[in-house]
């Protein structure tokens, strides 16, 4: 196993079930929490004594998703899984399956798990195995190999608003000659927890500010 699971979070009500789901299905995975203001006094003692331990690093304020993800990426050496704290892994050893698929298919620079609530409907389950995504991936749960980071770099921290930081990274990956993929054999539930930015799971987030940053950078919204 050569990946770390990076979870930016500010609320234990999301973080605890998110980590418990990872520990249930990937018991030995390294987990790095980027702390965006968590009240640790509310954490139950057994969780704080979890083995293997969870690494917690302090996030930067004000919260910028790309910046806090980058802090997590810098804190580890191998491949990374960027996991939203409102996403629950449900596939036993699903992250291992993505890792093996990524190593077998180096042409793919980012591979997404499938989920039930996501802006890109192609990321919902289709039972087709590994399939190419021609345009972009929503970063609910994505596997990014270290070779991609070495070639493309970190997430762009100019995306200070919600949304389009993932579109930007996917565009850079494609520009570098790599492909995007969706992997049906790893599922995360994105419908059970409240999102910090969207509220109720089926509520769409306001991505207008992020879209403006994207247009200013690329000159187009697509």
Summarised one tens digit per residue, pLDDT across range 155-181 is: 999 988 777 899 999 999 999 999 999
pLDDT in tens, 44-64: 766 656 667 889 999 988 888
Residue 142 has pLDDT above 50, yes or no: yes
Q: What is the C-alpha separation between 98 and 27, in angstroms, rounded?
A: 16
- Please check the confidence at residue 193 and state whether its pLDDT lies above 60: yes
Q: Are 209 and 109 in contact (CB under 8 A)?
A: no
pLDDT tens, 70-93? 999 999 999 999 999 999 999 999
CB < 8 Å & 24+ apart, contacts of 95-101: 95/3, 95/5, 95/22, 95/25, 95/26, 95/29, 95/143, 95/186, 96/1, 96/26, 97/183, 97/185, 97/186, 98/143, 98/183, 98/186, 99/1, 99/2, 99/3, 99/143, 101/130, 101/183, 101/185
Instruction: Please name the residue that has the structure tokens 């810098």.
Output: 74
pLDDT at 205: 57
* Tens-place pLDDT, residues 108-122: 999 999 999 998 999
């Amino acid at each position: 196993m050569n990946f770390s699971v990076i979870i930016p979070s500010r609320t234990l009500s999301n973080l605890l079930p998110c980590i418990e789901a990872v520990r249930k299905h990937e018991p030995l995975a390294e987990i790095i929490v980027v702390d965006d203001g968590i009240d640790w006094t509310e954490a139950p003692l057994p969780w704080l004594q979890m083995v293997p331990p969870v690494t917690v690093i302090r996030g930067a304020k004000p919260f910028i998703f790309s910046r806090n993800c980058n802090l997590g990426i810098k804190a580890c050496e191998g491949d990374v899984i960027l996991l939203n704290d409102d996403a629950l892994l449900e596939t036993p050893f699903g992250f291992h399956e993505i890792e093996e698929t990524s190593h077998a298919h180096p042409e793919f620079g980012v591979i997404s798990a499938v989920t039930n609530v996501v802006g890109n409907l192609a990321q919902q389950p289709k039972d087709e195995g590994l399939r190419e995504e021609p345009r972009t991936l929503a970063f609910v749960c994505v596997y990014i190999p270290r070779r991609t980071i070495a070639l493309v770099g970190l997430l762009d921290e100019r995306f200070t608003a919600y949304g389009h930081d993932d579109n930007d990274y996917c565009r850079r990956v494609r520009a570098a000659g790599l492909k995007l993929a969706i992997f049906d054999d790893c599922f995360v539930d994105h419908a059970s927890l409240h999102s910090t930015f969207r509220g109720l799971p089926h509520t769409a987030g306001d991505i207008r500010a992020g879209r403006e940053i994207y247009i200013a950078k690329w000159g187009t919204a697509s």
